[in-house]
Every structure is written in structure tokens, then in C-alpha cells.
Structure 1
């Protein structure tokens, strides 16, 4: 779960972004901050934008490793856990009372209010490490999708057996350049338009994938499936079965990482966020089950790691092109949803530590033709550009879709989605030690920790296997 960046708005701001220039005090909240204008609807869009992303593309492969029973069951269990703990986190936005207490503007602030000590630093490491990993993963996925557009056209013209190898690296560079430009947007809550656009793209390519899978199944060209997934000695070795099953769990965990929005105070932020979580998690789980199960039904135990870019489908090629273009557009917006908290964290720290440094604190007004005036900070320009360049280079060095997704999901799911929300809920509601509820919540934490460790082990094994045969900065052959 992404950093807790939920902020409120003044009750008078029900009309959204319409500011009263005659009274500047109406343009800020009662804490002196700029008005928050988010609603449960925009928060739902942020969640859907972040969740129905690269994770959905690997679910057919994940179900193939786990089988019909375990694969579907794990998807449903992860959705329940994610929603359950997200409601706990929503109640912790204000402290100590979830409605009238002091606001906590970031996930680390929440942990500081309820847990304190070293857990604040541990939360920061987990949170920002997760966000960095996701931005790297999205760079990889976007480039793969863009390459798939060229491949689809090549296969259509030359046949499905043709050598249509295309390098990912130029597309990664293009994606990085676009992110450098978008990264200059200073505030996270100004990105609602990107999230809404990306949410539409998410639904579009997920629906296309589902439609193609249904068409394949209806046409009778289905793969061999099993209740337990891939068969040892036929599809995989015993060791591969174990490690890939663990990695598949990590892929599903990655699929349930999501973001929050900047919400108004009327209705109460925790109520809005709970509603957004219910809408977001329910919607994405529905799409996940369809994509994963229909994809597995279509391809069977030979399901590709990414069923839109690994060419489980070849025709109609123009529809494959459109779906992959939608993926790329979606990830352009989703990258910023996850990168902005990193940008703001570093910039706030630097402003606090060096308040007299003009390079860090000064902003300059620049008139951009057709777009109006923008405030440009040299520090923001240099720092955010450097971050995008570094994540792009890392993506170029390790362009392994499934293993990277599984590792990120395994590393982030337990601490951010389970452990901290549960521990803060126990502290906030003063759950009695050794009571049935306390024991149940602690057992949930321990079980999820074990699952996350196994998923991480499987993803690392997959990453090691890929690295052995890979040479960086050379064209990747399928």
C-alpha cells in the first residue's frame, strides 16, 4: 500500500476547485494548507489506476502456477485482507480520534502518532523502497508494451514464426523523458486528471484482454488446465513448481498495492476512504478473477508471463496494438501517482534542513505558451530529473517483468498492507492483549509474513535464473 498521503479540505469547499479570490482565507484549510478537493470518487480512480496496472497482466501466469483452486482462492483472500487493513488505515488518518483528531499527512506521520520509535524509520524504508521499486517496474512494463506494438505489426506482416525482436531500451528512454516532464508537476493532488485518464486506460486494456480470452475459449483453442496448475515432470521440474508458485503469490501481492488521494473533510475522510477502498478493491478483484481465470482457461499451463505482450494473442493485431498503447498511457500516469510522494518527501526534508539555501527554496515563474505560467524550482528540476534517470537505468539493467513484480509485491505487502495497519489499529482501539481479537490480528500478521517471505524467495529464485542468461544493454530475445 502506498504512502498515506490523504489530506482534507475545508467544509466550505464542496464545490471543488473554485476559489474565492476576494477572501484568501477561504482558499486554504483550517490548518493553513492549500484546499483539498479530493472525493471518494477521485480516490477510487487513484486506487483503480494503481491497482489495475502491470499486475493484471501476469495473473494468467500466476493462476497457471497455482491452479484453479489455490489461484482463485489466493486472489480472493488477498482482496479481503487488503480491504480489511485499508479500513484500519483510513481510521488512523486522524489521531487519536478518527473523526476529530489531529491530521496525519503521510503514512510515516500515522506510524509516528500511534507506534513511534524505530517503527517510524522501518515504515519509511518499506514505504519508499516499495515506491521506488514500483516506478522501476512500471518503466519495464511500459517499454515491454510499446515493444509489443511493433512486434504485433511485424508478426501480422511476416507471420507468427518470424524473428520480430525489438530492443526495449529506446522505449525505456522515451518513457523516462516523458516522466521527467510530468515530474515537474509540484503537487500530488494536482494529478487527478492523470489518474482519471489512467483509470479509463486500465479498464480498456483489461477489458480487451478479457474479451480476447473469451474469444479464444469460445473458439475452442484452449490450453490444458489442472486443478493444481502446472504439472511436475511435464510443464516444470519439481524445483520450478515450488519457486514459481511462490513467485506467483508475490505477483498477486504486487497486484494489490494501491494509492490514496487528497480528500475533503465533509464527509469525514475515513468514511470517504473506506468507501473508495471498497469500490477500488471490489472492482479490481472482479477484473483480476476474470483476467486470471479466463487467461488460464485460454492458455492453460503454458500461459505467458504477460498475456498481452508475450503474444498469447496475435490477432486482431490492431486490437493488440491498441491494448498495449493503453497500457503505456496508463503507466505514464500511474508512475507519477507513486513517484510524487518520493519527490515531496525529499523536497520537504531538504527545505527543512537547508531553509536558507536559495537553490533549494527559490522558485521562478515561467510563461509556457498555450499553458500559462508555471513555477519552476531548479532544485526540483535537478532532483526529479536525476530520480527518473536513475530508475530508468535500473530498469534497463534488470528488465525482468514477473520476477521484479513478484519481489516488489512480496517485500511491500506484509509491512505496508498488513503489519503497520494492524499494529496501529491495536494501539488506537486499545485491543486487550491476549484477547481473541488480539490473537486473531497477530495471527493474521504472522501468516502474511510467512507468505511474503516465501513469495520473496520464489521471486529471487526467478530473478537469479533470468540474470544467468541475460546480458545488460543488449536486445532481449523472447
Structure 2
């Protein structure tokens, strides 16, 4: 076929040689330049995916995070994280294609990008961190969804009993309910087939964020003053050691609220071209970061203004369970719907990685590769893969059980943010950019990039320490499967 032949995978089992020159002269309306089905994503679907991933349960802990840091450091740290996330996203978007931004070989996943630009052991390290982080996000979202479902049940319990019933309950049944729903939705075969779920989830995220913001404004109006202080929760309300650990944990909570780099390449792989995928993704990242930062600043700051130093770990639980209880129910229901979609946005890359790896390793195994056509009325034929059914079901069950063992929302959020922030959001994008652009060592640009990386590493270590300390304290009073709230 010649030196310019590209080897592209048309499905899991067949590999063909296709000439890039011939393909460019005879483009197909149904097939992309790599032989895969035509990508149809736009700046708006990409923005919806990002907003679904970013505006998640993390927004609920921002008022608490600002309460630990105060009016000066809290908003400043949020703006700093938004700048870092956007800057490294720009670097990462350029890593989707190798050598040429339009005709270069595609990297389908984050790990593919690391393999193309860095190679070696860094690929395995990246894959381990990325997929462990995705597992952690699934656990965090299961916990957050159960909290919102319990909040709906408890608010109605309080309303019906006239506040006489303490309405204590276990989170376990609600985690199981969430897990069953995710088992069903996880059977959607590919990432690009859940665009509708992302749009629904994005709408839900705006719904509960807006309700939280509105209730915060209303609470400030009732208080007739802005609560809080310049330096956050004071020594006396907490010990000096607790103040330090909580401040560190707040960094992890904010990092988690902004974390989406781990699936940016996967989102970019759904975008059509022209224009180049990198150009579309950079615009989508800018739109998403501006929108989410505005929401985060409003929700976090108004939540802190409403509650001051006693801002709750979950903003919506701080308004009580009385009036307007129906509005809080709507907000919590929106959170559940959003987390249902966000769970899939984060887990689909992990699902695809395991299934493609298994298919490559055992190409003739019927259990792994055989599909069964099932006719679904109104939806057409569904290709049921037995391995996909078994593995994805086992994954959801495992994450649900872990969530039931460690139902600590704030601390888990902080650990996830700390664990994934530096390596996946900062280190690898910077190192890939340096390798791709051949930035000279010890040049001004190289030094600035390394200083940014080191600074973010220090923040991640501090955030992890604070969150682990919080988990240790929680475990002293918690009994697995028995403690009720």
C-alpha cells in the first residue's frame, strides 16, 4: 500500500490497511479518516460532556471549602484552580493528534496520548492512576447520590411527622437503588452514544446549582448580613490542628470540583472535523470553565455568606428539611439524575479500556467477543455482549459495596481531588506538551512549566493529607453497614 498507509481498526476483530491519500480523495459520509464511524460531536456536545463531568457533586462542598479558607483565600483558590485546569486542558487538547493537528494519528484515550508523547513506564503509571481515579469517582458519585435520595426521604418524613420523628435511616438501600440503575445504563455500548444523557445531566446540574444559589441568596436576605470572615473558621471553633487539616482538605474538595482532564481526550474523540478537534475542544473547554467557575463562585460564596463558619459539607442539607421542602426535593432529585449521567461519562472510558484489552488478548474467545442481537420495541436491535454485561455489572456492584463501607462524602471527595489533580491534570499534560513542542530544557518556558507542576504537586500532597486525616476521624465513629443518619 506504500509508506503513507494507515492501519485502522474497523471493528474489534478486523484490521485493514487503508491508504490515507486514497481516503482523503474519496471521503465517506459514514466513515472517518481512521476508518471508524463518522464522529458527529460539536462544540456544544463537548461542552455538555465537560459540564456534566465538572459540575457534579463537588459543587455541594464548595461552601464548606470556602468556610475553611475564608473570604480571601477561598475565592482566590477557586480562580487559581480554574486557570490551571483551563491552561492544562489547552495543552492536553493538542495531544489528541500526533505531529499534525489535522491529519496526524489520533489518540483515542488519555493513555494513548501519553504513550504517543512520552512512552515507557509513564504509560502504565498514567493508566493506573487514571483508572483508579475513575473507580474513585464512581464511588464518590454513589455516595453523593445516596445522600440526596436520603435528603428527599428525610424532608418528607419531617414534613409528615411535624418534626417529631428523628427520621434516621441507612444510606445502604439508596446506594443499592443507584447501583441497580447504573447496571442498566452501563450496558450502553460506547461513549458517543450517551450524548443525550450528558445533556440531561448538564441541565440537572444547572437546576440544583441554581436552587442552591437561590436558597443561599434567600438565607442571606433573612440574615440581613453576609456571614463569614476573611480567614475562615476561627481557632476556638476548631483546634489549630483541625484548622490546618480542614484547610488542606478544602484544597482537595476544590480540586475535585474542577477535575475533568482524565476524560478530556475521550470527549475530544467524539468531536467531528473540520475544524480541527483541538480547536473545537479548546473553545468547549473555555466555555465550560467560564460557566462552571461562575456557578462555583456564586454557589460557594453565597453558601458561605448564608451559613458562615457552620457551612455544611453538602450545601443543600444546610437549609433544613422544612420550607420550602418541595424545592429542596427538586434540587436533590436533580442531583440524583445528574449523578446518574455523570457516573456513565466517567466510567465509559474505563469500560472501553477493559473490553478492548480483553478483545485484543483473546480475539477468538466467544464469551468476550460474541454478541447477541436483541430486538427492543421502539429502539431497534441491541447488540448484547455477554462479557460486557458481566464485567460492567461486577464493576458497579463492587463500587457500590465500597461506597457502603465508606460513606464519607466530604473526605472521599477530597481524597479523589488530591489523588487525581497533580498527575492527570498537571504533570502529564505539561510533560506531553514539552515533549511534543520540544521545549528546551532550562529555557524560560520549561522552568515556568516545571514550577507550575511542582506547586500543584505540593497542593495535592497537602490536600491528600487533610482528607486522609478526615477519613481517620470518621472511621472512629462509624460502623460499616450499621450506622444510620
- TM-score (structure 2 length as normaliser): 0.91
Give the number of equivalent residue pairs: 454
In the TM superposition, residue 31 of structure 1 has moved relative to its aligned partner by 1.2
Deviation of the 1:99 alpha carbon: 3.0
2:80 corresponds to: 77
Does residue 344 (structure 1) correspond to residue 348 (structure 2)? The answer is: no
RMSD, aligned CA: 1.5
Residue 122 of structure 2 corresponds to which residue in structure 1?
Answer: 119
* Matching of residue 92 in structure 1 with residue 127 in structure 2: no
* Unaligned segments of structure 1, at least 5 residues: 1-22
C-alpha distance in 2 between matches for 1:172 and 1:251: 22
Structure 1 residue 162: Cα displacement: 4.3
Corresponding position of 1:315: 323
Q: Does 1:59 align with 2:39?
A: no
Out of 249, 252, 266, the residue aligned to residue 250 of structure 1 is: 252
Q: CA deviation at 1:164?
A: 1.6
What's the counterpart of residue 19 of structure 2? none
Name stretches of at least 5 consecutive residues in structure 2 with no aligned partner.
Answer: 1-25
Aligned residues of 1:309 and 1:324 also touching (Cα < 8 A): no
Q: Offset of 1:224 from its aligned partner?
A: 4.2
- 1:104 paired residue number: 107
In the other structure, the counterpart of 2:137 is: 134
Query: Which one of 377, 380, 387 corresponds to residue 372 of structure 1?
Result: 380
Q: Measure how far apart 1:29 and its partner are.
A: 1.1
Q: Which moved more, 1:25-34 or 1:113-122?
A: 25-34
Cα offset, 1:359, TM superposition = 0.5
Partners of 1:55 and 1:254 within 8 A in 2: yes
Aligned to 2:222: 219
Selected match of 1:239 from 237, 241, 248: 241
Deviation of 1:161 (Å)? 7.0
Residues of 2 paired with 1:315 and 1:277: CA distance? 38
Cα distance in 1 between the residues matched to 2:319 and 2:169 = 14
Alpha-carbon separation, structure 2, partners of 1:378 and 1:113? 32
Structure 2 counterpart of 1:303, from 294, 311, 332: 311
Work out which of the residue numbers 208, 211, 214 in structure 2 matches 1:208.
211
CA contact (8 A) 2:154 2:321 kept: no
Partner of 1:164: 167
Q: Distance in 2 between matches of 1:309 and 1:217?
A: 16
1: CA distance, partners of 2:322 / 2:235 = 28
CA deviation map 1:195-221 (0-9, x unaligned): 000000000000000000000101126
Distance 1:41 1:292 in 2: 26
- 1:318 aligns to what SS in structure 2? helix
1:307 Cα deviation from its structure 2 partner? 1.1
How far off its partner does 1:101 sit?
Answer: 1.6
Q: 1:436-475 residue pairs with structure 2 within 5 A?
A: 436-475=444-483
CA positional deviation for 1:310? 4.9
Change (3 A) 1:280 1:313: farther
Deviations 1:128-153 (A, max 9, x none): 11111001100000011000001111
Alpha-carbon distance in structure 2 between the residues aligned to 1:180 and 1:257: 24
How far apart, in 2, do the equivalents of 1:117 and 1:372 lie?
Answer: 44
CA contact (8 A) 2:415 2:468 kept: yes
Alignment pair present for 1:266 and 2:269: no
1:307-344 superposed Cα distances (whole Å, 9 cap, x missing partner): 11354564200000000000000000110001111110
Pick closer, same or farther for the CA change 1:294–1:318 going to 2, 3 Å.
same
Match of 1:363 in 2: 371
Partners of 1:174 and 1:221 lie apart in 2 by 41
| SS, match of residue 95 in structure 1 | coil
So what's the TM-score if we normalise by structure 1? Answer: 0.93
CA distance in structure 2 between the partners assigned to 1:412 and 1:102 by the alignment? 27
Which segment is superposed worse, 254-263 or 173-182?
Answer: 254-263
Write the distance in 2 (CA, Å) between the matches of 1:357 and 1:365.
18
1:331 aligns with 2:339: yes
